A = this chain, B = another copy of it.
Amino acid sequence: MNARKYVDRCLMELFNNGMRVTEQRKRMLSLVANSKHPQTAMELYRKMKRTFPGLSYETIYLNLKLFMDLRFIETILLGNEVRYRALPAVHAPLVQYICMDCKKAIQVSFDPSHPAFPMPEQFKSVNYKLDIFGYCRDCCDRGGSPAVQ
């Protein structure tokens, strides 16, 4: 995913919906887009604090909620932590390979219309999430064997 494009798309969408493009939101989206692995609210807060020393935690949560509503981001549970990650533009289906050690997420697009899915008759599907957990090359090499997702 191109981080620059992603941020621009989100900012434009904010603007088009009559919402404000603030420095905090710019930075927050940029952080999310440029992070190798999904971030916790606390991690985002700490990083934002560097740029905005007087930042309130409330701002983080309000914007996380806003970004969720606008589908800029989505949540994932890793270990017991709630983490947030960038959600690519709608209709760009993805598989995510998540390293359970370093928490890096590799995103791969794929075709969800594939007959491999045994869709039940009466279910109206609007979204899906395919997360595959394992260990990336780097962590395999290091021989780490951490707590399981």
Contacts and interface: CB of A to CB of B under 8 A. Distances in A.
B134 A131 contact: no
Nearest to A130: B130
In the complex, the count of this chain's copies comes to 2
Contacts of A77: 75-77, 82
Contacts of A124: 134-136, 140
B111 A123 contact: no
Interface residues of A, number: 41
Interface string A101-120: 00000101111001011111
A123 B137 CA distance: 6
13 contacts: A75-B77, A106-B123, A109-B118, A111-B116, A114-B114, A116-B116, A117-B130, A123-B134, A123-B137, A126-B135, A127-B134, A130-B130, A130-B131
Interface of A: 69, 71, 75-77, 80, 82, 95, 97, 99-100, 106, 108-111, 114, 116-120, 122-137, 140, 148-149
Given A124-B136, A129-B131, 16 more contacts: A75-B77, A97-B125, A106-B120, A110-B116, A114-B114, A116-B117, A122-B140, A123-B135, A123-B136, A124-B134, A124-B140, A125-B132, A125-B133, A126-B135, A127-B132, A127-B148
